[in-house]
Structure 1
Amino acid sequence: MTTRRPLRWGGSRSRAIGGVALIVSGGVAIAGSDTYVLLLLLAGTVAHVTGWCVMPADGWRRVTAAALSTPAVWLLLTGPRFIAVLVLPYIGWLLVRHRPLRSYPTITFVLAGAVILPSLFSNYSQMLPAVAIEFAVIVASAWAAWAVATTRDSRHLPEQYP
């Protein structure tokens, strides 16, 4: 788990909270930009990448997560039909949080939401509710991945009574 890792600066909890705040606010800023507000796109991108950089994890994990997540968030500018790209930031989250491989099947929940939502929300004007629902699915999936990662090995069941 990432809370047990030695850090060069800051605390694990404060870096995780700050990182999440920057990642999400950067994504919101990117989503709020357009051709008239390109400075917001730049600021959102810098905040988003900085958020991944401050997360408590190995450096290669943070770089990989930022490299997966940033283009995915940019693709959301095209509308709800590309909401499936949010699986990439989720994979980055699992990677940065050092989740074991047994927690990666939770990606299917994010993909299921990404398949269903574009059929319900097709116009760009419906992007906010579509992303809000998918974000809720991602948060629930992250909690499920945490639960899977923290469960003990179930192969050592107690012997049955005779």
Structure 2
Amino acid sequence: MTSWIDPTPRVRWGDVRWRYAVGLVTIVLGAALTNLTSTYSLWFLLVGPCVQLLGWLILPGALWRRLLVVLPCLVAALVLVAGPDFVGAFAMLLGGWLFARHRPARSYLAVLPVIVLSFVLKGALNEYGQNWVGLLSGGVATVACAWLGWALAVRRTGARRRL
């Protein structure tokens, strides 16, 4: 059995590392801008998804994978605006990230802690004013689980490869 190797995307424009960094930053920034939406700042509802869409398009990798996750991830970022009852949407964002980054099937086990955290937060947070706690803890858990997904992807029988 061969081990998984992170596919090096061939890009037609730009540098792979630059596109990865800018794509990641704009995806996160777009989701954050979307969650700044309030009655008095509805323009974030327009700007946030546009920035996030741009991030998914800049990210290097197979275009069909990125396009397949754009709509579900945009909807997941919009659902997070509804409050702490919907922090389970972080699982969709993480799943979309793992799919767009072409991770193997075993790396999707990293979504489970985010799902468990969403149930814990749903029980613990009961007011819309506590949404920042859900967003912060869900964001930190999603980033940690994205790294966990990477670690599960590169894990071989007892040894790690440098990518």
Question: Under a length normalisation based on structure 1, what TM-score does the superposition of the two structures give?
Answer: 0.89
Matches within 5 A, 1:5-16: 5-16=9-20
Higher RCO, 1 vs 2 (CA within 8 Å, ≥6 residues apart): 2
Query: What secondary structure is seen at the aligned counterpart in 2 of 1:38?
Result: coil
Deviation string, structure 1 residues 57-112 (Cα, Å, up to 9, x no partner)? 11111112211110111111111001112111111100111100111111101101
Within-5 A mapping of 1:92-111:
92-111=96-115
- Name the Cα RMSD after superposition: 1.4
- Is 2:132 aligned against 1:128? yes
Q: CA–CA distance in 1 between the matches of 2:61 and 2:125?
A: 35
Counterpart CA distance in 1 for 2:69 and 2:101 is 10
Structure 2 residue runs without a partner (length 5+) = 1-5, 159-163
Residue 68 (structure 1) aligns with = 72
CA distance in 1, matches of 2:128, 2:57: 30
* CA displacement 1:96-154 (0-9 Å, x = unmatched): 111001111111011011111121222111111111111111111111111111122x2
Determine which structure has more spread, i.e. the larger CA radius of gyration: 1
Given that 2:9 and 2:62 are in contact with CA atoms closer than 8 Å, whether structure 1 keeps it comes out as no
Higher percent of residues as helix: 1
Deviations 1:3-59 (A, max 9, x none): x22111112211111111111111111111123322221111100111111111111
Aligned to 2:94: 90
Q: Partners in 1 of 2:123 and 2:18 — Cα distance?
A: 38
Structure 1 residues without counterparts, runs of 5 or longer: 156-162
Hey, what's the Cα distance between the residues in 2 that align with 1:106 and 1:19?
21
Percent of residue pairs bearing the same amino acid type: 31
Q: Which runs of 4+ in 1 moved over 2 A?
A: 34-38
Residue 117 of structure 2 is aligned to residue 113 of structure 1: yes
